Structure 1
């Protein structure tokens, strides 16, 4: 060991000077950051300029931040450099973990929303961490040891202020050089970008933090500076999204109950997918191919950092999640909304949401009041919800949750709208052995291989639920809608995705299609079939409104009716990529949508024009949606078809809600009221092992408001 320490001294005689320690620290921060860029993130670097910038961009902020220590002397300077290195490493480490699961970088919005999500984050951390992630801290440990045993001796001399100042100036100059080269390669980098990958690969992870802080501050200021005049160009833009409804479908679901089942992390490829010759989702497959089901084969998730909350925002409001984070978390309690639930309330519907987790998750309790939900049945409403065996991952197991949800559904005055949010098919895709009856895939990726098992469990829960609807007779006046909220397996698992798809490797075209999720609408007498129209979650609200015979002509929304022949088949992704029925853009590459053939738009004038116009439409869609949300512009909008939602009239207090539910039985329209106030829950059959004994099986009966 002494030889090693002696070698270190001989290798760099200047190591025992403050400036020598500074240069070593800069080199170590650069090395591990550059290593992480290339091994932990998928930044889509291409071309010599981008390669150079990726190599270069860790240096400027390392020089600036570590250079702060040069203004101090002796021990303080050394330990301050170690501390600054540690803080940068924690930031790098945190983003490695977040990116692995969400294919994005941490934002101040996400970190600020920790109170609404942190109760669940720790449950998946062990599955996210890779042992090599900790290499970002190894240099700090070595430096501390070398300082403590005095192999590196502390230089007690003060660094001249002129040298410290020139170091700071050098760091700033290097940053400006990097920015100049970046902007020359990608104009509008900081003004017209929707993809954080671009900021990081061009400027750096620390610069991204500064950029995000500025954007977050700008977003906060937008509301106070917003005016009604800002609505004019937005109204003009959304008018072009108005479409005439298909007369075959307009009003086809009028007066029917609507049950929207939120299939957590469920991707379209699971439909009809088999493992070892067995269907992963036989019940959903049957539903998809039913003659009374409209199944959309080219339907995409369009979520951003808000993930599930973004999907809900789009389905209930036809507004995108913002570039800086979750609408529900950041604006749900304060903004004015003209939601789907608000329209349904005016049309005589009872509206309810069901979720087997705490009401604070994604700020649902406050947001649902702003959206006008009459009821919100969260975890405390479910019998034995705190029983550990009833829960997995993020909340109640789907079979238990859906059985107890049926208990409440039978009591809702009809017609009703119910959003049922499942949870079991959520990362890290684990189940207890008693609930696993399906083989795992064999990709060799532990994050991926359990996915089909939890998806199969979700499918079984869905099958049990549908059997109850049929046996109780509720299905006769009910439309059931299924949708997947976002991907379950991120594109960071390319090798595993290739094996699942039966390919040797995947292209950006494959990854674009990987974003497909299910969207299916079923109702008695509905003209079904597989619909190949291209669309996404932003289109659900206008589609369902037309099916219900509710006009959306005066609504500010950013989707359009998927069943209309005039529907624009442009799917905008939150990062600015897109898919159309003709061409696809993903990670900076372009493809013919029908064949997957990669193309260069500049080689064909018609294609170049198409790409330019489509990108402009996508950019405007995202930008205008952001302005509506961040400026709370709907508070200025006078919609003649919509009565303003008064969030103060809603309460999700359990005692009050159950009392109201009991009072609602007097209306005589609920399934229970029509059944002489007798429960139909006996018609619900589940094979959930947790409910196999009689005491557990009957536990949900005690929830009845009667």
Structure 2
């Protein structure tokens, strides 16, 4: 044992040796080197522990080792320009800032499989009230380890265990150190560009930026992206819109005569299924169907159901799904288009289109009106009414809420009193929230077994999905009793994934697989899309499509001409529809091949296809598909960031006058009341001004307790 002591010094002996080294020559330089090493170490370790960057090959692995260093050197070298204790405290502060950025991205990536952007940070005012609840749920104790070194350094400085170099270093040395960081950054960029051409100009995937250049470099790149987006409007010209109009016209498909206008004049219900994935349809736990009511609706002979339908959201998540559903415009690669542009941009959205055809338009959401900037965006889209949390009595009761707003059963029951007052025909969107991360319900509302994957984030997912299913069944039952079901089109869609790719072991257990491939993960991005109407020719449709296609497909069924609309989706019912599904990161899915997370697969068989084995036909197919995907994403971004629809001079659509729209509760209630006389076409008016809300039956325990 004594011999072992000779070869294995104690921590105290190690510290004394380090301190002696730092004290004997250039203490500040050594302190700088120590901080650089600490920032590099924790960044590199977390690259592997908490991010899925898809690193492969010697070049990418080398860059992953290199890329934390340049910005660490550049930032920390700022401390070298100062003297005395200030330089040491500056170094610690700069270490802390980089660690805080790393910490924030660890938490965000764990749930959203993406990195924080300036757009997301800028939208915190519209989402932050609920985001904090999700962040708390996904935090691990190990995440705080990124701050341990800073705590140690602070203690050492406070208790004067480090020698302060009062002289500092020569300015020449500080400048050369900064230049070293800059040189290393350009070296890394050069190697990265050689390995992946067009890295910063063609890539829509943030994982590539971080993998090749680094987390801090990604922040700088994203800041430039965000700035360019904000400048796009001032630089946009009518000629830009004409170019895009020409492209849109070239993509226009003929309507399907078997479906066009078959549901014309009916009410429209858009049912937003929060975080609901396609795999839940017909899925069983312990022999019990998770969503028996949605399953029945999905298989109904008058429901047109698409089983190869994909979400296409990016960082805007729900807001991205909404802008696609209402406008057939893609969300932005960073941040939320609704938050950034929803207030001031010109839109040609479904609510306005239907409103100009005699429809009353209303949105329902059991949370605060400002979430995702809906209170402003919905005005830009032309909604007459927006029934948010302020319209719901007792909405602030803790027992009535979960996570992001009113529980679905309560929300839908309390929405009925407004739905019955809407003049018909109407277009109504209902945004549910209970099936939202972190998938938690109180015991009184749980009547379904959790899965047993061992992942606490995942196992409650089927329980909240089952709750949503029951809420939907109660709502449909009411529509039938109120006489609305047969006179309405019900469109249901899942907005985005519920379980992110960062839970692969749990996903594998849910799907009964030993190991997942990128092909499996691509299939896991499917969400439901269903359209139901009386006498509608239903069935399971195997056409490949995505959320960008919802609007043109619905317009076909409703018999609304769309020749002059700027839509980047296509009618999935058209016989000429090809089924190309662009994903927001630049990947894509088609009936023949798919590209997901950089890998290629045969869509039908799931067999991987390496680029080196491409046939000439496959090379051409990939080239053409990628060109189309890049163009459609670029053009859509131009429309949003440049506000190009303000240049649309068409005469068959009147631009929305937002000054005439208000969502104040008193005004909204007064308008509803007045409409019962001026336009007595609502369920309430036709029932002799008597409510049918008592026909709404729910087993929500909160409402039973209140009675």
Shared topology, TM-score over 0.5? yes
Q: Distance in 1 between matches of 2:621 and 2:246?
A: 21
SS at match of 1:396: coil
Q: Is the 8 A contact 1:72 1:158 kept in 2?
A: yes
Q: Which residue of 1 aligns with 2:74?
A: 64
Which residue does 1:703 correspond to in 2?
A: none
Structure 2 residue aligned with 1:484: 494
Match of 1:638 among 649, 654, 661: 649
Q: Name the counterpart of 2:676.
A: 665
Match of 1:27 in 2: 37
| Residue of 165, 171, 181 corresponding to 1:161 | 171
What is the alpha-carbon distance in structure 2 between the residues aligned to residue 261 and residue 625 of structure 1? 25
**Matched position secondary structure for 2:202:** coil
Determine the structure 2 residue equivalent to 1:8. Answer: 15
Write out per-residue CA displacement over residues 206-247 of structure 1, whole angstroms, 9 at most, x where no aligned residue: 001111111111111110111001112211221232111111
Cα distance in 2 for partners of 1:641, 1:553 equals 11
Aligned residue pairs: how many? 694
Asked whether the 8 Å contact 2:297–2:303 carries over to 1, the reply is yes
The whole-number CA distance in structure 2 between the counterparts of 1:323 and 1:487 is 17
Between 191-200 and 276-285, the greater mean CA deviation after superposition: 191-200
Aligned match for 1:433, one of 432, 443, 459: 443
Counterparts of 1:390 and 1:319, CA distance in 2: 34
**Cα distance, 1:10 vs structure 2:** 1.2
5+ long unaligned stretches in structure 1: 698-706
Residue 615 (structure 1) aligns with: 626
Aligned pairs for 1:681-692 (under 5 A) are 681-692=693-704
In 1, the alpha carbon distance for the partners of 2:71 and 2:611 equals 37
Please state how far the C-alpha of 1:602 moved relative to its aligned partner.
4.0
Query: Paired residue for 1:701?
Result: none
Measure, in 2, the Cα distance between the counterparts of 1:258 and 1:470. Answer: 14
Q: Secondary structure at the match of 2:468?
A: helix
Name the structure 1 match of 2:292: 282
Distance in structure 2 (CA, Å) of the matches to 1:636 and 1:9: 71
CA distance in structure 2 between the partners assigned to 1:14 and 1:57 by the alignment:
28
State the partner residue of 1:170: 180
Structure 1 Cα separation of the partners of residues 111 and 135 of structure 2: 10
Shift of 1:425: 0.3
Post-superposition offset of 1:14: 2.9
Matched-pair contact (CA < 8 Å) for 2:123–2:335 = no
Aligned partner of residue 179 in structure 1, secondary structure: helix
Structure 2 CA distance for aligned equivalents of residues 634 and 681 of structure 1? 41
Tell me the residue number matched to 1:227. 237
Cα shift at 1:641: 2.5
The residue aligned with 1:652 is: 663
CA contact (8 A) 2:19 2:162 kept: no
- Alignment match, 2:104: 94
CA distance in 1, matches of 2:596, 2:299: 30
Partner of 2:593: 583
Paired with 1:498 and 1:158, the residues of 2 have a C-alpha distance of 56
Q: CA deviation at 1:149?
A: 2.9
Decide whether the 8 Å contact of 1:301 with 1:515 is kept in 2.
yes
Query: What secondary structure sits across from 2:622 in the alignment?
Result: helix
Match of 2:531 among 521, 540, 553: 521
1:408 equivalenced with 2:418 (yes/no): yes
Q: How does 1:465-484 map to 2 (within 5 A)?
A: 465-484=475-494
Shift of 1:11: 4.1
C-alpha contact 2:365 2:388 (8 A) present in aligned 1: yes
Which deviates further from its counterpart, 417-426 or 131-140?
131-140
Query: Are the aligned partners of 1:9 and 1:15 in contact in 2 as well (CA < 8 Å)?
Result: no
Tell me if structure 2 keeps the 8 A contact 1:261–1:420. Answer: yes
Please provide the CA RMSD for this pair.
1.1
The answer to whether the 8 Å contact 1:5/1:151 transfers is: no
Q: 1:296 aligns with which of 301, 306, 321?
A: 306
Give the structure 2 partner of residue 236 of structure 1: 246
> What is the CA-CA distance between 1:559 and the residue it aligns to?
0.2
- Whether the aligned pair in 2 keeps the contact of 1:601 and 1:611 (CA below 8 Å) is no
Q: Is the 8 A contact 1:241 1:568 kept in 2?
A: no
Alpha-carbon distance, 1:9 to partner: 2.6
Partner Cα separation in structure 2 for residue 601 and residue 663 of structure 1: 65
CA distance in 2, matches of 1:607, 1:597: 14
Report the CA distance between 1:3 and its aligned residue.
Answer: 5.2
- CA contact 1:602–1:608 (8 Å) conserved in 2: no
SS at match of 2:453: coil
Name the SS of the counterpart of 2:655 in structure 1: coil
1:430-483 CA-to-partner distances (Å, cap 9, x unmatched) read 000000000000000011000000000000000100111112221120111110
What corresponds to 1:78 in structure 2? Answer: 88
Cα distance in 2 for partners of 1:162, 1:372 equals: 61
Q: Report the secondary structure of 1:191's partner residue.
A: helix
Aligned partner of 1:679 in structure 2 is 691
> Shift in Å at residue 682 of structure 1?
1.3
1:558 maps to 2:565: no
> Which deviations, in whole Å up to 9, do the C-alpha atoms of 1:269-314 show, x marking residues without a partner?
0000000000000000000000000000001100011100000000
Supply the distance in 1 between the matched residues of 2:312 and 2:15 (Cα, whole angstroms). 52
When structure 1 is superposed on structure 2, of 140-149 and 27-36 the one drifting more is: 140-149
Other structure's SS at 1:461 match? helix
For structure 2, the residue ranges without an aligned partner over 5 or more in a row are 1-8
3-state SS of the aligned residue for 1:575? coil
Instruction: Compute the displacement of 1:167 (Å).
Output: 0.4
Aligned to 2:640: 629
* Match among 498, 501, 516 for residue 511 of structure 2: 501
Task: Name the CA distance, whole Å, in 2 between partners of 1:164 and 1:358.
Answer: 51
TM-score by length of 2: 0.97
| Cα distance in 1 between the residues matched to 2:520 and 2:160 | 55
Q: Secondary structure at the match of 2:221?
A: helix
Q: How far apart, CA to CA, are the structure 2 residues paired with 1:240 and 1:118?
A: 41
Contact (CA 8 Å) 1:601, 1:607: kept in 2 or not?
Answer: no
Pairing of 1:125-204 with structure 2 (within 5 A): 125-204=135-214
